[in-house]
Structure 1
């Protein structure tokens, strides 16, 4: 049995595979499509992150594929229908990076609200911007809006409430009687957009959510509101967001995900000179601790799928 791993993971977790399983750890394959297709030809299992496109072409190149392990939770890079049609099991590492994403949301909310932490270069050059940087705000007493209220958003809510944030959420797919709503105000999406001082996105990329935060939706946000996106690129209209930040309608934004990943110089140019903006390379859920958990859970899932007898 052969496992091909196409992106980085905690290599210590590889010792968790059963004897007799041939493991090829080749994170460079994500950068070389031809080599990836060739490597997949003899694979019974693939382990991927978000950049490896497990599409029809890759599935066709892997006739013996039985299982896909996802080092994370998003599945939009995997042809789920194609896998289902062939009986290929897909295992995300559910819950393994929840804490990391939740801490990222709270951390960027602090930073963007205070607006003081990019002063180091200017201060080294002799600036002393005490007057302007002393105008930053506290997050206590602000309204945190969570668009989507699954496990990660619920973890954010759990961290936010003790800090004095008023937590509200919108999620039509979570039943009104679900216990997660007990300490969170349940709102319709349009109402959430109007009321949130800080809006954090926690929805998958689907035809319904693509472009959801366009210019019209951003205009509905409160003046000075902060937007945080750790879900998926393509949900936020990046040009419209930059315009809203430059115009001063929004007070700040953090983007960990982008419509085109990795972000190249051409795509990145739109963000030049945009105020109070944090950009990170899809790492909200990638910490040292989360990488260990994600890798261990994924190895366990794939090993079990390969070694347990079929019922």
Structure 2
């Protein structure tokens, strides 16, 4: 289904020139909000300040991408892939707005070489993702899914004792947490972990080099991930997916972790070798894992993390970012970016 909204009627005049309204498409608006232009939860009034005619598609299949972007000046996408094969058909394209932080679904090299501006949205979901991370950790530490299931199955009602004790519970105070990725989100999670009484270490980024804001060409002084893993009780991932860290948690690194340790991934599915993770959980090589992201979204019917009978695994369907406040912040930031860009075209 597609919905259209004229962000401003007619054309815009500066006194010297009359400018034709730009056309835009949002390829997967339903990932953001059902019936976005008439949403009860998202205030879309900022669209009235953008001189574009925007068509919102609930979703876009790979074979539909070319036809929908062919005549667009502006394309908004959350997760729809815009590769060079599709982008070469978009002769009018000037701007790609990624309604998320990661830009791995867009061929940014092609865009750069064809003067197509790519803009993502950063920092919109810090608190939402941080609270989801803490929720996942608390569920692992308290064995909440297992005990909740036991109660639903009547095990408490038939217990000879006042409580159930089958599943171990971990007290997080005093435990050692390792954070991989220390941007805004990593820092927010660090603060929450410290508030829980945990000791926190920040791992050096893969490759060992500092970011631009640090001293150029100096080695990263933070301890390596490999040196931290044997002493880690919790490992939480908050880094982007890059060529350097694809399958960062593979069989070798998982083997360095303690049999009581927890792995949490709210970043990108490709950071974890999922087959290796399943094997580690089944062998009791690590104590548990909780993920909000997987390598294929939506997953296929035989995805290794969804095959059942995997001990102490929690999977949530990429919902860490989805608080209403977070989505509103994302929309507002994205629209302000778009407004700024459109004004440069006048």
In structure 2, distance between residues paired with 1:206 and 1:269: 22
3-state DSSP class of the match of 2:177?
Answer: strand
3-state DSSP class of the match of 1:16?
Answer: helix
| C-alpha distance after superposition, 1:220-273 (max 9, x if no partner) | 012211001111112211111111111112111011111222112111566411
3-state DSSP class of the match of 2:137?
Answer: helix
Q: Could you say if the C-alpha distance between residues 271 and 251 of structure 1 is closer, same or farther in structure 2, counting changes exceeding 3 Å?
A: farther
Matches within 5 A, 1:91-240: 91-128=119-156, 130-133=164-167, 135-171=168-204, 172-174=208-210, 186-240=222-276
Aligned to 2:66: 37
Deviating 4+ runs (over 6 angstroms):
175-178
In structure 1, distance between residues paired with 2:305 and 2:246: 22
In structure 2, distance between residues paired with 1:177 and 1:67: 27
Aligned to 2:301: 265
Contact in 2 for aligned 1:212/1:236 (Cα 8 Å): yes
3-state DSSP class of the match of 1:266?
Answer: coil
Q: CA RMSD in A?
A: 2.2
Q: Which has the higher contact order (CA 8 A, sep 6+)?
A: 1
Contact in 2 for aligned 1:145/1:168 (Cα 8 Å): yes
Deviates more, 1:86-95 or 1:18-27: 18-27
**Count of aligned pairs:** 300
Q: CA deviation at 1:177?
A: 9.6
Please give the TM-score of this superposition, normalised by the length of structure 1.
Answer: 0.89
Aligned to 1:299: 335
Q: Which runs of 5+ in 2 are unaligned?
A: 1-21, 37-41, 157-162, 215-220
| C-alpha distance after superposition, 1:267-292 (max 9, x if no partner) | 15664111111111222222221111
Q: CA deviation at 1:174?
A: 4.1
Q: CA deviation at 1:61?
A: 2.1
| C-alpha distance after superposition, 1:201-220 (max 9, x if no partner) | 12222222112211111000
Q: CA deviation at 1:173?
A: 4.3
Contact in 2 for aligned 1:239/1:270 (Cα 8 Å): no
* 1:286 is aligned to 2:315: no
Aligned to 2:87: 59
Q: Could you say if the C-alpha distance between residues 293 and 202 of structure 1 is closer, same or farther in structure 2, counting changes exceeding 3 Å?
A: same
* 1:254 is aligned to 2:287: no
Q: CA deviation at 1:161?
A: 1.0
Q: Which runs of 5+ in 1 are unaligned?
A: 179-184
In structure 2, distance between residues paired with 1:125 and 1:64: 59
In structure 2, distance between residues paired with 1:105 and 1:19: 35
Please point out which of 34, 58, 61 is paired with 1:27.
58
Work out which of the two has the higher radius of gyration on C-alpha atoms and give 1 or 2: 2
In structure 2, distance between residues paired with 1:201 and 1:19: 36
* 1:4 is aligned to 2:33: no
3-state DSSP class of the match of 1:61?
Answer: coil
In structure 1, distance between residues paired with 2:246 and 2:134: 24
Indicate the structure with greater helix content.
1
Contact in 2 for aligned 1:14/1:299 (Cα 8 Å): no
Q: CA deviation at 1:144?
A: 1.0
In structure 1, distance between residues paired with 2:105 and 2:75: 13
